Amino acid sequence: MSKQSKRIEALVYHAKPTPGKIKVIPTKKYASQRDLSLAYSPGVAEPCLEIDKNVDNVYKYTAKGNLVAVISNGTAVLGLGNIGPEASKPVMEGKGLLFKIFADIDVFDIEVNTENVDEFIETVKNISPTFGGINLEDIKAPEAFEIERRLKAELDIPVMHDDQHGTAIISAAALLNALELAEKKIGEIRIVVSGAGAAAISCTRLYKAFGVKKEHIVMLDSKGVIRTDRTNLTSQKAEFATNRKIDSLKEAMVDADVFIGLSMADIVTPEMLKSMAKDPIVFAMANPNPEIDYDLAIETREDIIMATGRSDHPNQVNNVLGFPFIFRGALDVRATKINEAMKMAAVKALSRLAKEPVPEQVNLAYNETRLTFGKDYIIPKPFDPRLIEEVPPAVAKAAIESGVAKAPIEDWDRYKNTLMERLGSDNKLVRMLLQRARTNPKRIVFAEADQLDVLKAAQIVYEEGVANPILLGRRDTILDLMTEIEFDVDVPILDPKSDEELERKNRYAKSYWEKRQRQGVTLYAAEQKMRERNYYAAMMVNEGDADGVVTGYSRSYPNVVKPMLELIGMADGVSRIATTNVMITQRGPMFLSDTSINIDPSAKDLARIARMTSNVAKMFGIEPVIAMTSYSNFGSSDNPRAGKVNDAVAFLHKAYPDMIVDGEVQTDFALNSEMLQDIFPFSKLAGRKVNTLIFPNLDAANITYKLLKELNKVESIGPIMMGMNKPVHILQLGASVDEIVNMSAIAVIDAQEREKRQQ
Ligand SMILES: NC(=O)C1=CN([C@@H]2O[C@H](COP(=O)(O)OP(=O)(O)OC[C@H]3O[C@@H](n4cnc5c(N)ncnc54)[C@H](OP(=O)(O)O)[C@@H]3O)[C@@H](O)[C@H]2O)C=CC1
Ligand SMILES: CC(=O)C(=O)O
Ligand SMILES: [Mg+2]
């Protein structure tokens, strides 16, 4: 994507469909008059009085305990400088979004219109009763130091200037790991720090606390090397002034072991890198563009360990890895501060996590076969679900031990469970899916691209780099719609009904005819068939002109399945196709099968459906725990309908003893592990969290998934086709744009998986 189109993409992302990135959602019922009389006057007076009696009750009756203020005055926004409060708002909203998706913390972003330190402090103090914590952001040095120091002293809720401490924590964890790889001792390294602002000063202080020697540090600001003989240094800069008689970054870099960039883009040259010591460690963390381009640095030195603040290269050293989890831990024990012990605990947790085996889910999200601790993986990835399990408990423990926790945790297992559940209902899986598709996009045919929603989805997957769409349908309609939605790019458009691309169409017809000429198909009939979009799309995949198909938006499911089965067929060893839907529920992703194809599957079919669904769950990086559902429990009914499910279970237990599957079981027992454990302790599901439900027939599966979708507004991915010979994915009639986008990502990943298996 060109710089210009990235720019437009970013602007459109922020502008549409609703300006900005954050909104407020009520957490209580508000449907009836009764609800409103509780939510507001008169009912609301009761919690007011309770809080008036005891101010700590504010944590019990209001959102304070989970609410963080992200506050800036816009004086040091990323590496963009002093661009003012309004221009800083997108960054602050962005932090709000990250707090929410990574740690389920709610945020109000607050942009304050003052550069005066006293006024700023007064403003924050005056609004602090609303919040459980204060994240100061993008405030320039040296004012940032005084603002943070005074607010910490004067408020009894955690205050952290993230550019200082978040960055220090993440980069220290990465530095410790990089030094381990380079086999260098922290007490011996020579380090150059470019930048002497909020981030650079705090990072360097923390490195010193971990053992870097002061005499081994050279720090630079916009005026050059900070030397002891320079006049008018701030006290923070003076802390790191060097006795060495050098003037420039170029001189400082000679024989340095580590470069820390917290200044601005493109100030480091390849020559400077070449002059560094063996196995140099370079953290170029200026945002959005680093001190030296990642690729240039890698090309320049083979032995480099390189990190940037960006997400599009390995080793993203960015405070996003810290603030959500640090505040989570601090809020959960009602810490009055974020102190050194808590910061150190976060550093250690992050550094340790990078050395542990990476869960398959993370490999899948980044399309890596095996991420392992090494030069390209010195710090965990932001999408790693272990971050919320590991970092907040470490921070919370340190808060308790250092005596700043007002509500210490007693049951740590329970706490860890609540942390996991916090992320259960978000759309993490969808993010992972799109992220993974993006790493190796495939050519996907959209067989109904002349339908507005299908075309919109094709536009999104194109612009997000999820897939390379091929648009099939009436050319004029497609072109008109493309103009309407400003999808102004050069993607292939093919119209099966027209006589364009006759050579291709004839080729498909001939190939189709050759396979079926002894089944009564004439060449003429084959040519006619190729005018039909689904036949044409299927032939594109068969002939290797596309990697997958997404279709079915405007036709009934069976009408689309038929041509796909006829042309593409089932995969080797498969005797039945089926579908599964992934429902993104409060308790996490749930696989429901078979939602679209087999009306009344036999016991053997049910076993096959369970087996195929198990494979799809693994493709998502999820270890399947499967309940074979019914209206009865473990033989409690002798009706053949329940018996069928029981037989399927018996077959699976025998053929696949390692599969975690059991039943027949009612859905309430399946979903309530304690109840199951109490009454059916012998079950393989007892004490486990079921994530896959296999239904006894199509009625039950289809009704359940649609009910969840409509009544509970549960997001659904699918129906995902299982058992086809090629990546063909069929939408439900009238699927939404989001559903089509998700399905396209599935088609891409399906194609990626098949490619991997062939290699
Ligand atoms: N990856 C991450 O997670 C994070 C990255 N950052 C990045 O760090 C940078 C600084 O942020 P922050 O500390 O908050 O901002 P500040 O405004 O507090 O500090 C900026 C510092 O950069 C110095 N500087 C400017 N130009 C140069 C130059 N050519 N050579 C050396 N130093 C220079 C300034 O010098 P002077 O003192 O003379 O003005 C100042 O000391 C930004 O690019 C920001 O995006 C920040 C936080 C987190
Ligand atoms: C990441 C961040 O906080 C910054 O660049 O300022
Ligand atoms: Mg910042």
Q: How close is the Cα of 160 to the center of ligand 1, in Å?
A: 18
What residues does 106 pair with on adjacent strands? 67
Cβ of 319 closer than 6 Å to ligand 2, yes or no, is yes
- Residue 633 and residue 689 share a domain: yes
Q: What is the pLDDT of residue 417?
A: 78
Whole-angstrom Cα distance, residue 541 to residue 445?
A: 8
Is residue 592 in some structural domain? yes
Cα separation, 111 vs 89, whole angstroms? 7
Domain C-terminal end among 390, 422, 454: 422
Q: What is the CATH number of the domain that holds 539?
A: 3.40.50.10950
Backbone angles phi, psi at 718, to 5 degrees: 130, -165
Question: Can you tell me the distance from the alpha carbon of 165 to that of 204, in angstroms, rounded to the nearest whole number?
Answer: 10
Q: Count CB neighbours of 85 within 10 A.
A: 19
The set of residues, in sequence order, having a beta carbon less than 8 Å from that of 45 and lying 6+ positions away, is: none
Q: CA angle, corner 157, sides to 155 and 161, nearest 5? A: 85
Range in 220-229, 360-369, 482-491, 506-515 with the lowest mean pLDDT = 360-369
Q: For residue 424, name the pLDDT band (cuts at 50, 70, 90).
A: low
Q: pTM above the 0.80 mark?
A: no
Tens digit of pLDDT for each residue in 130-140? 999 999 999 99
Residue pair 565/558 in contact (Cβ under 8 Å)? The answer is no
Percent of the chain with pLDDT over 90: 81
For residues 237 and 200, membership in a common domain is answered with: yes
643-656 exposure pattern, b = at least 16 Cβ within 10 A, e = fewer: bbbbbbbebbeeee
> 72: Cβ below 6 Å to ligand 2?
no
Report pLDDT for 458: 96
Q: Report the candidate in 759, 752, 756, 757 with the shortest Cα–Cα distance to residue 467.
A: 752
Same domain, 126 and 254: no
Q: What is the pLDDT at residue 342?
A: 96
Closest residue CA from atom 3 of ligand 1: 318
H/E stretch holding 373 reads none
Q: What is the DSSP string of 537-601?
A: HHHHHHTTS-SEEEE-SSS-HHHHHHHHHHHT-BPTT----EEEEEEEETTEEEEEE-SSS-SS-
Report the residue count for the chain. 759
Sign for the pseudo-dihedral over CA of 528, 531, 534, 540: positive
Task: Count other C-beta atoms under 10 Å from residue 420's C-beta.
Answer: 13
In a domain, residue 285? The reply is: yes
Q: What is the mean predicted confidence (pLDDT) over 454-468? A: 93
ipTM associated with this complex: 0.99
Which atom of ligand 2 sits closest to the CA of residue 77?
6
Q: What is the pLDDT of residues 643-678, one digit of tens each?
A: 999 999 999 999 999 999 999 999 999 999 889 999
- The torsion angles phi and psi of 209, rounded to 5 degrees, stand at -60, -30
Within 282-371, residue ranges assigned H as helices are 294-300, 323-332, 340-353, 360-365
Answer for the pair 470, 491: CB distance below 8 angstroms, yes or no: yes
In this predicted structure, what is the pLDDT of residue 247? 94
Confidence of residue 425 (pLDDT cuts 50, 70, 90): very low
Q: Report the pLDDT value the prediction gives residue 2, as an integer from 0 to 100.
A: 67
Contact (Cβ atoms closer than 8 angstroms) between residue 581 and residue 705: yes
Buried b (16+ CB within 10 A) or exposed e, 260-285: bbbbbbebbeeebbebbbebbbbbbb
Q: Do residues 656 and 603 both lie within one domain?
A: yes
Which CATH number covers residue 652? Answer: 3.40.50.10750
Predicted confidence (pLDDT) per residue in 82-117, tens digit: 999 999 999 999 999 999 989 999 999 999 999 999
Pocket test for ligand 2, best of 75, 77, 78 (most atoms within 8 A of CB): 78
Which pLDDT does position 718 carry in this prediction?
87
Site to substitute for ligand 1 among 70, 136, 138, 163, most atoms within 8 A of C-beta:
163
> Of all helices (H) and strands (E), which one includes residue 45?
helix 45-53
Question: Is 746 within a domain?
Answer: no
Domain that holds residue 511: 433-567
Q: What is the largest CA-CA distance in the chain?
A: 95
| 143 and 15 assigned to the same domain | yes
- Domain end among 381, 401, 422: 422
Q: Which of the ligands is closest to the CA of residue 264?
A: 1
Count of domains for the chain: 4
Q: Which of 13, 30, 40, 61 is catalytic?
A: 40
Within this chain, do residues 219 and 346 fall inside the same structural domain, yes or no?
yes
Same structural domain, 298 and 418: yes
Residues 150 and 178 placed together within one structural domain of the fold: no
Q: Is 759 within a domain?
A: no
Say if 573 falls within a structural domain.
no
Helix (H), strand (E) at residue 283: strand 281-284
Shortest-distance ligand to the CA of residue 198: 1
Q: Does residue 356 sit in the same domain as residue 278?
A: yes
Query: Is 454 found in the same domain as 375?
Result: no
Same domain (yes/no): 627, 543: no
**Which region holds residue 378: left if phi is over 0, alpha if psi is between -120 and 50, else beta?**
alpha
Please count the other Cβ atoms lying within 10 Å of the Cβ belonging to residue 561: 21
Do β-strands 217-221 and 224-225 pair in parallel, antiparallel, or remain unpaired? antiparallel
What is the arithmetic mean of pLDDT over 694-699? Answer: 98
- Which CATH number belongs to the domain containing residue 108 in this structure? 3.40.50.10380
Distance (angstroms) between ligand 2 centre and the Cα of 265 equals: 13
Q: What is the pLDDT of residues 42-92, one digit of tens each?
A: 999 999 999 999 999 999 999 999 999 999 999 999 999 999 999 999 999
Average pLDDT over the chain, rounded to an integer? 93
Q: What is the C-alpha to C-alpha distance for residues 219 and 194, in angstroms, rounded to an integer? A: 6
> Could you tell me if 291 and 317 are in contact, meaning their C-beta atoms sit under 8 angstroms apart?
no
Chain-centroid distance of CA 500 in Å reads 42
Q: What is the pLDDT of residues 311-340, one digit of tens each?
A: 889 999 999 999 999 999 999 999 999 999
What's the whole-number mean pLDDT along residues 275-281? 98
692-694: strand order across its sheet? 661-665, 626-629, 692-694, 588-593, 578-585, 715-722
Residue 606 lies inside a defined structural domain of this protein: yes
Q: Does residue 486 lie in a domain region? A: yes
* Spatial distance between the Cα atoms of 444 and 546, rounded to a whole number of angstroms: 6
pLDDT at site 426: 52
Residue 580 has pLDDT above 70, yes or no: yes
Identify the pLDDT of residue 375: 96
217 forms beta bridges with 191
Residue 95 among the catalytic residues: yes
Give me the pLDDT at residue 414, please. 87
For a mutational test of ligand 1's pocket, the pick from 77, 219, 222, i.e. the residue with the most ligand atoms closer than 8 A to its C-beta, is: 222
In a domain, residue 480? The reply is yes
**Which CATH number do you get for residue 410?**
3.40.50.720
Class of residue 463 by CB neighbours under 10 A (exposed 0-12, middle 13-18, buried 19+): middle
Token pair recorded at residue 205:
């202080």
Bridge partner list, 307: 283
pLDDT number for residue 431: 76
pLDDT digits (tens, 9 = 90+) for 530-569: 999 999 999 999 999 999 999 999 988 888 998 899 899 9
> Are 134 and 187 part of one and the same domain?
no
For ligand 2, atom 2, the nearest C-alpha belongs to 78
pLDDT recorded at residue 420? 78
Q: Which residues line ligand 1 (CB under 6 A)?
A: 76, 78-79, 140-141, 163, 167, 194-200, 220-223, 262-264, 267, 285-287, 309, 317-319
Tell me: pLDDT of 231 over 70: yes
